[in-house]
Structure 1
């Protein structure tokens, strides 16, 4: 396997999961000092942008399940967070199917105008068949969902960057369409996508600005980065990489590991197993059997984006070193979840981010010297 000696001297970026869905970020009965309401989320967003976070990612859910009894709609909730902040960029998650590209393009262009270019979009191809069935939306097979998402992204980028846009796809068609006003961001609003399957990686290598993958160990992430970057280069395209991580930072390693064990010990077995059953459609149902969650254990699924696997669990020094190691294999962004959001975001900003910046500076000096 070829090496990926990442010579990127840009600072690694930090994002956090917006808790616009009830139940927190772990499927456990452990106390989670967080809240899905707007007042808490405004305070969280303000704390995040003061503590080194560049992005926030809102979640998209239409139905209850797996501890998420209540869900605020992602685009409107993202706009409310943007209105309460000054620098933070908020990534609104949307689903092709319920959304059409013409609506999404216009909706997001307006928000971009109103927030001085601070909105982004995450195209979620879909993993929860029961949700689509409940709202009467078609559920294409795994790879077809990525065909539809790619057309969706091509449509968004075309609408945002061209006048008299034309597109003749399997799922979407446009004829001589001009959107005004266009977004402030040029050439277009940033487009994120997730997924771990071959279809997800291939789509990212063609059309997405950012690829977000579930948590994984360093070697697994390195393999994904190399695969995507080699394919993107062949397509004359560039894509940045974000990795999901559930972050547990404490003063000692023993404290951090004790919190992890307590989360798992208090897991909700019924909810975790139901989630695991639902995600097999998204994971093992991919042709190569390597989609999201295809290889996740019960313990992994307690954090529903495999966030424990990334192992940002330990002291500030340990976590900072692991973050910089991720950067060295090509990761551009850490997408973080926390147990007690506001207080842990503040602790992370105070204790971890400065160490990361120091280590990055050291690595840059070493690269230039070498």
Structure 2
């Protein structure tokens, strides 16, 4: 029997990080009943689908580090998850540089055909210089990485929507190229991207369908939402907003806060500091010095994408209220991570999502 809470077109969407790399989603030695295996992830996807999650986001890592010793390749892994589900859409993270746009366009067009239009893409512009050095990829400076990603997205859109596609940019060249079959989704699979810097927000406003923000306070997220939306409007476009959040939903606020405290107290300090050094270096490398993690504390960095900052930590009622507050400032999707994915996705689906839908329905009836 379906457990999906009632949604409308204006309902918030929910996604979860696919743990296709080892180590879970916090850099901590706390017990995490989460596995990077395909068997675990297929079951997790089925649980998420059962309880009304809309998306799963697979991660891209090429090298070990910060607790992630093992990493499954996201395109193949995502296809396996899609085969195990019927409605869930999987967002595949892709890193320009190692991947060429024609390869990605062809891979995802095929997967879209095979899964009845359930694939999306997340363009990761890259922040870890050591990873690029390890695999022999040329490292571009901050804004150039976003310039390349912008061209990458323009090329994807062209290949997916046009015949005899031509493009002559600084990074990519195409001459009368036609891809067949094209994706089932029209005009093309949804395109996500993240980032905090001015370059990331500018790029999102020009070419992306979705902009992912790192975790932040309501005020911090609202500033990004307003900026990206105003930039998109100036381009004659609209863009949707997703926000990262680490969820700790428990029967009491005290219990939830105790879990957070234990995660931080058992943090792998050496790994967090190494991640923090590389991450902050990347964030501060933006011309304005405000890229991802530029202002993150050591505690924030225990969760890769500042997920603690969003404060979805407490009782189901408290979390539902905070989610509605995010919706009220213009957020369209919550990208969630958990300590113990299978059981906590189910708990969230049983105890938090119905409260969110109730609150959304009240908002709709009052408007």
Deviations 1:90-126 (A, max 9, x none): 0000100000001000000000000000000000000
Partner of 1:294: 294
Structure 2 CA distance for aligned equivalents of residues 124 and 184 of structure 1: 23
Matched, 1:103 2:99: no
Partner-residue secondary structure (3-state), 1:362 = helix
Q: CA deviation at 1:360?
A: 0.4
Q: Decide whether the 8 Å contact of 1:9 with 1:364 is kept in 2.
A: no
Distance of 1:348 and 1:182 partners within structure 2:
36
Deviation (angstroms), 1:237: 1.1
What's the secondary structure of 1:176's corresponding residue?
Answer: strand
Spell out, residue by residue over 1:141-191, the C-alpha distance to the aligned partner (whole angstroms, 9 max, x if none). Answer: 000000000000000001001111111100001111110000000000110
Residue in 1 that maps onto 2:35: 35
Q: Which residue of 2 aligns with 1:121?
A: 121
Question: Does 1:18 pair with 2:18?
Answer: yes
Q: Distance in 2 between matches of 1:173 and 1:362?
A: 51
Q: Whole-Å Cα distance in 2 between the matches of residues 188 and 147 of structure 1?
A: 21
> CA separation in 1, counterparts of 2:72 and 2:299?
27
User: How many pairs does the alignment contain?
Assistant: 360
- SS across alignment from 1:283: helix
SS at match of 1:287: coil
Residue 364 of structure 1 and its aligned partner are, at CA, apart by 1.1
Partner of 2:268: 268
Q: Helix, strand or coil for the counterpart of 1:352?
A: helix
TM-score computed with the length of structure 2 as normaliser: 0.97
Where does residue 220 of structure 2 map in the other structure? Answer: 220
Give 1:227-266 correspondences, 5 Å limit.
Answer: 227-266=227-266
Matched with 2:310 is 310
**Residues 177, 9 of structure 1: alpha-carbon distance in 2 compared, 3 angstrom cutoff:** closer
TM-aligned CA deviation for residue 238 of structure 1 = 1.2
The CA deviation at 1:280 is: 2.1
Unaligned residue ranges in structure 2 (runs of 5+)? 1-7
Aligned to 1:172: 172
Q: Distance in 2 between matches of 1:81 and 1:196?
A: 29
- CA distance, structure 2, for counterparts of residue 125 and residue 347 of structure 1: 33
Whether the 8 Å contact between 1:166 and 1:173 is mirrored in structure 2 is: yes
Question: Which runs of at least 4 in structure 1 moved beyond 6 Å after TM superposition?
Answer: none
> CA-to-partner distance for each residue in 1:192-250, whole Å, 9 max, x for gaps?
00101000000000000000111000000000000000010010111100000000000
Residue 284 of structure 2 aligns to a residue whose secondary structure is: coil
Q: CA deviation at 1:9?
A: 6.8
Structure 1-normalised TM-score? 0.97
Distance 1:232 1:104 in 2: 25
In the alignment, the residues of structure 1 paired with residue 257 and residue 366 of structure 2 have an alpha-carbon distance, to the nearest angstrom, of 32
| SS of alignment partner, residue 79 of structure 1 | helix
Superposed CA offset, 1:315-355 (max 9, x none):
00000000010000000000000000000000000000000
Q: Distance in 1 between matches of 2:15 and 2:351?
A: 16
- After superposing the two structures, state which structure 1 stretch, 114-123 or 277-286, moved more: 277-286
**Could you tell me how far 1:366 is from its partner in structure 2?**
1.6
